[in-house]
């Protein structure tokens, strides 16, 4: 029998009508982790400037676009969404031969819209061996980590799901920015994440979840790892170990029997409008119950189903509960095809932990999978979610990601035995 990673964790973290009432979460507001990592002032920094294309690219991946203030608390919104605005991810990158950067290894310091130089590269050294490359790569190599307690502080054991989804959103942001940047990208799930953890000096409070490549090889360019490892900086200020999450990470860190996806997505979008969509993206909190058009719905589905180039592609299925789409009958759609007719708006809202977003939307999407590599399939769901977010914004629609739902009831309703990974509501 084929053993699939992450299934035990996924089953143990399912929501049901009873579980969310028996296990209410009480937050310790006096001990909330920081949502932004900052290295000590002794590290040199480069302020991101609009005059450099690569600087804009980095900013588009997770830069701050707005601030919301409430009594006693402030939220900084970014180009990438995050469950609960907790942002349990950090972005690092290696730059080689890129205008605006000294060749080196960097951390994206979101708080100051700058990058911190962690290590300046000698000509023949770099992190390529940990990503599986024997030659030096000209361009950008991205490394996405997770200080997971930022999310576990609120979501407890289920937080690993959100760390993976949010990583997928960052990968989706890299995809979206690479279209403007004018360079192909691909995701590398088979990188030596444990080797990266050691090189960056991470202990249990932070670990790498994914890598992405926006670079080309330099033929004949020998490369070896830097001899000196990096010094870790506290990523969140507060940490409590969650053994189930750390076990799930160890189980899923090395993908097995992967199928590659060599194809690249082909986008035909207005780049100026697309960049505006990246910068204006927000999570909608309510819908007007007005309809969207069939053309808009079809554009969303078509965009989601474009290839995600990677070394470990897992099958996902996109369901939509169509509530208000002109020219389409209400009902359940799978990859754009009607499979069950009926008015299921209230049911969709109930499944999304009784949130009105699911019932007031024009369409509520559910992403499912029966794949065997948990980390890649969950991150791919995040990439799909990011595509929905940005395409909705591009079409002047609203979108909201929903990471909490009644797992088994959703599976039964859709008639699908796969794992429920994500829900997203789209509408006006």
**pLDDT over 80 (residue 65):** yes
Residues 158, 13: contact at Cβ < 8 Å? yes
Nearest to 416 by CA among 350, 338, 318, 297: 318
DSSP3 helix / strand / coil % (the chain, rounded to 5): 35, 25, 40
**pLDDT over 90 (residue 188):** yes
Rounded Cα gap, residues 299 and 426, in angstroms: 12
pLDDT band at 20 (very low <50, low <70, confident <90, very high): confident
| CA angle 112–115–119, rounded 5-degree value | 145
Residues 242, 156: contact at Cβ < 8 Å? yes
In 200-316, which residue ranges form alpha helices assigned H by DSSP?
243-252, 271-280, 294-304
- The mean pLDDT value for 99-110 works out to 97
* pLDDT confidence of residue 275: 96
* pLDDT confidence of residue 72: 67
Average pLDDT of the chain to the nearest whole number: 95
* pLDDT confidence of residue 336: 87
* pLDDT confidence of residue 100: 96
Q: How many other CB atoms sit within 10 Å of the CB of residue 349?
A: 21
Q: Which residue has the tokens 């502080």?
A: 153
Domains of the chain, CATH where assigned: 32-252 (3.40.109.10), 283-427 (3.40.109.10)
* pLDDT confidence of residue 142: 98
Residues 402, 425: contact at Cβ < 8 Å? yes
% residues pLDDT > 70 (the chain)? 99
* pLDDT confidence of residue 19: 83
Q: DSSP state, 71?
A: T
pLDDT tens, position by position, 210-232: 999 999 998 888 999 999 999 99
Dig out the tokens for 271 from the structure: 């780049």
Rounded Cα gap, residues 319 and 327, in angstroms: 18
**pLDDT over 70 (residue 131):** yes
pLDDT band at 1 (very low <50, low <70, confident <90, very high): low
* pLDDT confidence of residue 23: 74
Regarding pTM above 0.85, the answer is yes
Rounded Cα gap, residues 114 and 213, in angstroms: 21
pLDDT tens, position by position, 348-372: 999 999 999 999 999 999 999 999 9
Rounded Cα gap, residues 132 and 130, in angstroms: 6
Rounded Cα gap, residues 384 and 366, in angstroms: 11
């Amino acid at each position: 029998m084929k053993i699939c990673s992450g299934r035990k964790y996924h089953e143990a973290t399912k929501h049901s009508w009873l579980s969310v009432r028996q296990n209410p979460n009480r937050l310790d507001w006096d001990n909330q982790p920081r949502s932004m990592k900052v290295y000590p002032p002794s590290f040199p920094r480069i302020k991101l400037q609009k005059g450099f294309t690569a600087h804009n690219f980095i900013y588009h991946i997770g830069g701050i676009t707005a601030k919301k203030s409430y009594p006693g608390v402030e939220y900084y919104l970014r180009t990438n969404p995050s469950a609960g605005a907790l942002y349990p991810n950090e972005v690092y990158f290696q730059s080689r031969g890129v205008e605006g950067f000294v060749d080196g290894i960097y951390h994206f310091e979101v708080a100051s819209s700058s990058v911190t130089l962690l290590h300046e590269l000698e000509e023949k050294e770099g992190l390529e061996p940990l990503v599986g490359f024997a030659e030096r790569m000209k361009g950008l190599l991205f490394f996405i980590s997770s200080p997971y307690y930022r999310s576990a502080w609120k979501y407890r054991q289920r937080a690993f799901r959100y760390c993976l989804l949010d990583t997928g959103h960052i990968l989706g942001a890299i995809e979206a920015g690479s279209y403007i940047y004018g360079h192909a990208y691909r995701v590398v799930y088979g990188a030596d994440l444990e080797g990266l953890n050691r090189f960056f000096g991470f202990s249990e409070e932070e670990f790498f979840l994914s890598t992405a490549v926006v670079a080309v090889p330099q033929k004949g360019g020998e490369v070896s790892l830097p001899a000196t490892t990096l010094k870790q900086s506290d990523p969140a200020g507060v940490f409590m170990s969650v053994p189930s999450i750390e076990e799930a990470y160890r189980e899923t860190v090395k993908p097995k029997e992967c199928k590659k996806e060599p194809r690249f997505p082909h986008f035909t979008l207005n780049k100026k409008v697309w960049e505006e969509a990246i910068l204006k993206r927000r999570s909608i909190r309510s819908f007007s119950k007005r309809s969207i058009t069939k053309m808009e719905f079809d554009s969303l589905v078509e965009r989601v189903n474009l290839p995600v180039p990677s070394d470990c592609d897992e099958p996902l299925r996109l369901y939509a509960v169509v509530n208000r789409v002109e020219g389409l009958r209400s009902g359940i759609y799978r990859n754009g095809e009607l499979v069950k007719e009926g008015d299921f708006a209230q049911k969709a809202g109930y499944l999304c932990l009784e949130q009105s977003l699911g019932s007031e939307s024009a369409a509520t999407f559910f992403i499912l999978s029966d794949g065997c590599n948990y980390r890649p399939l969950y991150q791919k769901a995040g990439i799909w979610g990011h595509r929905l977010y940005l395409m909705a914004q591009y079409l002047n629609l609203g979108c909201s990601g929903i990471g909490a739902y009644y797992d088994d009831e959703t599976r039964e309703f859709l008639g699908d035995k796969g794992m429920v990974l994500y829900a997203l509501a789209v509408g006006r």
